[in-house]
Amino acid sequence: MSLLEVVNLSKRFGGVVAVDSCSLSVAEGSITGLIGPNGSGKTTVFNLVTGFLPRDGGDIRFKSGSIAGLGPDRIYGLGIGRTFQLARIFPRLTALENMLVPVRRAGLRALMSQGQWGHEKERAMEMLEFMDISQVAGTVGGALSYGQRKLLELAAVMMARPELVLLDEPAGGVNPALLERIAGHIRQLNGQGVTFLLVEHNMSFVMNLCHEVVVMQQGRVIAKGSPRVVRENPAVLDAYLGA
């Protein structure tokens, strides 16, 4: 069953058609890769799905309800988390505070209350330990290394227990050792039932990690299937190597 379904999604920026009636689906429990050359519309799809951009046409369905037209905060609340290219964290908040911002609290009373941090802090510390960065819990985000920021961003997104997480270049700019760690964390979280959709240029990372790969070119989906099938698809080879 598909958790996320994108149907004939379109987005234009002036005369440029960034996403051109794109359709794809993400199966529940899968790690799905979204690949394609630069400018093929992958990040735009992310921004459309997470509500950062209004769509020009088509529909986006999550757990078979339409989420098109909702704002990013509502979409996060429904269970779709995302990370950004080049790891975005809150630089003047500590790592622990970064973890607490995404915690969901309903109602005015809970928002204004002072004394309910106990179990939330506990869970945040567990998550930081899981990512192996609990030693920097009291350090402000701006003082963390790039790798620590990447791990912190992923850890923080998990705080509201999203069912689907969109990762924008999780392997971008990280060293091979950290790459292995990040892949391990994604696999582990996936084992706990979290579904992932990730944009990535590192092909070996994608081919090793993903169950399913979707290939985009010029705003359209040109191929999809298992990593092995996609790798041998002539259209994909064309898109990447040029004909």
Partner 1 sequence: MNRTGAVKAIALVGLAVVALLLPLIAPDPATTNIAVFTAMYVGLATAWNIMGGYTGYISLGHAAFFGLGAYSLALLLAHLNIAPGYGPFLLVPVAGLLAALLAVGIGWIALRTRAATFVIVTIAFMFMCQLLAENLVKVTGGGGGLGLPYPRDWSGDFYNTPYYYAMLLLAVLALGVSWWIRRSKFGLGLLAIRDDEDKALAVGVPTRAFKLTAFVISAALVGMIGAVYAYYVTFIYPQFVFDPLIGISMVLMVFLGGLGTLSGPVVGALLLEPAQLQFAYRFGASKLYLVLYSAVFLVVILLMPRGIVPSARDLIARRRRPRAAGPTGTVTDTRAASITRPLASP
Q: Supply the minimum distance, in Å, between the C-beta of residue 131 and partner 1.
A: 15
Count the residues of the shown chain that bind partner 1, applying the rule CB under 8 A.
Answer: 48
**DSSP 3-state of 83:** coil
The dihedral through the CA atoms of 65, 26, 105, 43 has a sign that is: negative
Q: Where are the alpha helices (DSSP H) in 163-202?
A: 176-191
Stretches 100-108, 177-185, 195-203, 220-228: which one binds partner 1 (CB under 8 A)? Answer: 100-108
- Residue with token string 């379904």: 5
Stretches 35-43, 56-64, 154-162, 211-219: which one binds partner 1 (CB under 8 A)? Answer: 154-162
**Which among 20, 27, 33, 35 has a CA at the least distance from the CA of 4?**
27
Contact pattern for partner 1 over residues 199 through 218, marking x by CB under 8 A: --------------------
The secondary structure of 1-56 as a DSSP string is -EEEEEEEEEEEETTEEEEEEEEEEEETT-EEEEE-STTSSHHHHHHHHTTSS--S
Assess 7 for contact with partner 1 (CB under 8 A). no
Q: Supply the minimum distance, in Å, between the C-beta of residue 119 and partner 1.
A: 13
The dihedral through the CA atoms of 124, 129, 132, 135 has a sign that is: positive
Q: Supply the minimum distance, in Å, between the C-beta of residue 112 and partner 1.
A: 5
Map the footprint of partner 1 across residues 108-137, applying CB under 8 A: 110-114, 117, 121, 125, 134-137
Assess 70 for contact with partner 1 (CB under 8 A). no
The dihedral through the CA atoms of 203, 199, 86, 189 has a sign that is: negative
**Which among 117, 134, 116 has a CA at the least distance from the CA of 125?**
134
- Residue with token string 């890769």: 33
Assess 173 for contact with partner 1 (CB under 8 A). no
Stretches 3-11, 27-35, 93-101, 178-186: which one binds partner 1 (CB under 8 A)? Answer: 93-101
CB proximity list for 94: less than 8 A, separation 6 or greater: 137, 138, 139, 140, 141
Judged by CB under 8 A, the residue of 30, 43, 50, 195 near partner 1 is 50
Judged by CB under 8 A, the residue of 54, 69, 71, 184 near partner 1 is 71
Q: Which is nearer to partner 1, 36 or 81 (CB)?
A: 81
Q: Which is nearer to partner 1, 93 or 237 (CB)?
A: 93
Residues of this chain that bind partner 1 (CB under 8 A): 50, 52, 71-73, 76-77, 81-82, 84, 88-94, 96-97, 100-105, 110-114, 117, 121, 125, 134-144, 156-157, 159-160
